[in-house]
Amino acid sequence: MDVTADWLARLPKTELHLHIEGTLEPELMFALAQRNGVRLPYDSVEAVRAAYDFANLQSFLDLYYAGAGVLLTEQDFYDLTAAYLLRCRADRVVHTELFFDPQTHTARGVPYATVLAGIRRALTDAHEQFAISSKLILCFLRHLSEEEGFATLREAEPYLDLIDGVGLDSSEVGHPPEKFARLFARCKALGLPRVAHAGEEGPPDYVWQALDLLDVCRIDHGVRALEDPALVDELKRRRIPLTVCPLSNIRLKVFQRLSDHNLRALLEAGLVATVNSDDPAYFGGYVGENWRACAAALQLTRAELKQLAVNGFTGSWLPEVEQARWIAEIEAM
């Protein structure tokens, strides 16, 4: 293999599929619980880690929402986001587009403005201190109703200058994208770029719905798209990026082993596949670990890894001049 650890470490990277609540490490979870007087259903950090053996997406989400209960103040959201951005710096992630789930917090009585202020302050500090650029995507929880999504959007409208786009996440099966067609039409009218989780546990039809009914510019996951040749052709024609999360797919049993993952097949099909970490505190790896694990398990070449890195920039919401600057650095490696 022509890929060295040093070369991979120096490769400029993006992260386009990252749930900030999913970066809550057990150590920080316990620290925030103590700071805020929140009682956790676990005795120790080790007990939390032992619970990270998920049978499927829903078993993960149950723990994910329980852990989020320790996030109460602006400083909590700042500390959470700042810790993630330090990981970005270590992994040479120079641009990140991260999700946050306001409904997870407002349902517990945490004001929307509190969540947004803490995250935004950390993003600003990381840009000033580490030159890490970022975009922030408000995600609607698909296991809740479209009416609840509209309520969240109304709450967010005074702060839309601080939001770069909207997404759709949480339990995929049984909650097709079409459930949120009116909500996403309203977001489009407001000028908000749109992305959606589809084609992870859900079928290729969910990807079609996200494209045709939600008018998204990016598909989060999308690994099941290869089951539908017509869908592959459409994704290629429109150059729709797929934000693939390999280690997450293994933890949630989408694939049994990383060597079985279809990341290379997505590339070979001409799709704009990218590498991301999803919920790294729960799924055993931040984005650098996803890159290293895929390079080894799939025996990816430098050319394939460079293509994945380029895809991350072309699939991002960075201005074209910024994309070109980073792509030039990648091509020169």
Catalytic residue list? 200
Q: How far is CA 4 from CA 116, 299, 311, in A?
A: 39, 12, 21
What is the rounded CA–CA span in Å between residue 274 and residue 243?
A: 5
Quick one: which H or E segment has residue 138? strand 133-141
Of 88, 73, 67, 87, the C-alpha closest to 118 is 73
What is the rounded CA–CA span in Å between residue 169 and residue 143?
A: 9
What is the rounded CA–CA span in Å between residue 283 and residue 169?
A: 16
Quick one: which H or E segment has residue 219? strand 218-221
Place of tokens 């805020």: 36
Cα-based angle 239, 242, 248 (whole degrees, multiple of 5): 170
Cα-based angle 64, 70, 72 (whole degrees, multiple of 5): 120
Phi, psi of 4, rounded to the nearest 5 degrees: -105, 160
